[in-house]
Amino acid sequence: MSGTLTPSDENGHRCWGGSRTASALPALNVIFRFFVSCLRGCATLVRSALARSQSVPAVGVLLALWMPQPVMAATACDALLTVVLRNGKVTLAQEVAAGAFVPPATGRGRGGPPAPYADLPAFCRVAATLRPSGDSAINVEVWLPAAGGSAPWNGKLEALGGQGWAGTIGYAGLRDGLRRGYAVTATDSGHTGGAGIFALEHPEQLVDFAYRSAHEMTLAAKTIVTTFYGSGPRLSYWDGCSTGGRMALTEAQRFPEDFDGIIAGAPANFSSHQAAQMMSVALAVHPPSREASADEASYIPPAKYSLIHQAVVEACDARDGAKDGVLEDPTRCDFDPGTLECKGEDAATCLTPAEVSAARKIYAPIVNPRTRETIFPGLSPGSELAWGTVAGPQPLAFPREIYQFIVFKDPMWDYKTLDLDRDVARAEKAYDGMMDAINPDLTAFFKRGGKLLQYHGWSDQAVAPANSVNYYNSVVRKSGGDGRVQQSYRLFMVPGMTHCAGGEGTSSFDALAALERWKEQGQAPAHIPASRMAGGVVNRTRPLCPYPEVATYKGAGSIDEAANFVCKTR
């Protein structure tokens, strides 16, 4: 008599059925192997369900944990040279002894000087070149903690974003990830060098820079990790600021299955509009004029930045309840530079009328002169000490090159010809949706349990901080309210912090640790501990609060101790 139920495992083998009279030992052995194979197939189905749903019955979770895991044999480091990648080839696979790594001369960290590597544990260093198009050459590196080494693999993958035009591997970020036990990966975003001229004649490389390099790097890194350890990462995180922050939001929007958690710092995610704002700041201090003297009359000398900053602090600092030299919430500051206007001749202690006008333009959002619609927010009060980045003697190269090499495709383009009504629309058309990551629909990322932690310094001089607030609010509107969004997405505005780091505020904090606790332990960050360093010593601590909450002084105790502040909505 034959059985009637004949389900199959993932290889198409029948799991049970056939003659009930079969009794030979070999047949029993075959049946046993089929049974184990079937269990593995069932486990695959359960794990797939787990990946698609945030809430699975407890019995399903227990079943997935009990089922045998598909296991691959681990691979030696040098054998990774033969690993097959979807769109590329491994070019280097070498074991690096503890403390032996020396970064290439072209390497740089996240905007800072080369950092020491002598304390690094042993690891397997893998380099690859990915070619998803005929004109692509995306260089990536993957660093893998050595099996059995002093810092074993934590089972997770960390992917890193770049800054500016990228164009190089961020070795300092790879170092930091490896120290924490991560398999960690970074890319040059598909071109070499920190300038945008590559986009002029290589449109496919612009696509790589815009979004494709991050995705391709992630897929390649997961393949390499799986081959080396015999199993893939149990969790994958993205960590990037500025351009890396834009890549972060791009990943959440375009490729929601790439990462389980994402850190998006000061994201330049509305680049077509941000470039116009940065050029407008340059025009505020160098307005077009037929007379050279009139042209430079609006230029604010760097020596006067501290004058303006001190006036801002005196006018608005006490409004947050603690007079500590930092604005907790600059949106409550209505400082007018006109209060500093000279009563007579120009002096170091006042601003000329032209300088007052320039300062007002730096704070103000830029608007379309015809429609009066806001294009992009201005810089916040408190950012004055860093104005030299965008209001210096020459325009910042990054936004200028966007217009030269992407928008107008003319290396001789003159920023003084910028027309906000015409050229912003032209930039949007040139981008064709590639470099603007402003889609507020994060449903797919949220549904699979993804967590998004975004931060931005209120004193950011490069990406106006209100841009992050605007994007967060657009997601809230799309997703049905603050309470629902904060289950998956939290924004932390950092008082006094400039672009990605630094400044007068408490700009030292561990966003990755907060994301780990959120994703792995279910502890949503009610605040993030932060500190300020001076001379290598912590001289202030403060909680960073999830927007729209603000750190509020309790009214007693030292203003330099976090315990005396509470997060409140105002």
**Rounded Cα–Cα distance for residues 98 and 36 (Å):** 41
Residue 103's CB is within 10 A of a number of other CB atoms, namely 17
CB neighbour list of residue 340: distance below 8 Å, 6 or more residues apart:
307, 308, 311, 350, 351, 356
Going by C-alpha positions, the residue among 261, 279, 294, 507 that lies closest to residue 398 is 279
Q: Where are the beta strands (DSSP E) in 65-155?
A: 88-96, 123-130, 138-145
Going by C-alpha positions, the residue among 555, 547, 549, 541 that lies closest to residue 568 is 549
CB neighbour list of residue 503: distance below 8 Å, 6 or more residues apart:
385, 386, 457, 459, 496, 497
Residues designated catalytic = 242, 460, 499
**Rounded Cα–Cα distance for residues 313 and 333 (Å):** 9
Residue appearing with tokens 């990774």: 80
Collapse the DSSP code of 84 into the 3-class scheme (helix H, G, I; strand E, B; otherwise coil) and give the result: coil
Contact (CB, 8 A) for 524 and 134: no
The secondary structure of residue 70, as a DSSP letter, is P
Q: Is 193 left (phi over 0), alpha (psi -120 to 50) or beta?
A: left
CB neighbour list of residue 433: distance below 8 Å, 6 or more residues apart:
none
**Rounded Cα–Cα distance for residues 482 and 155 (Å):** 33
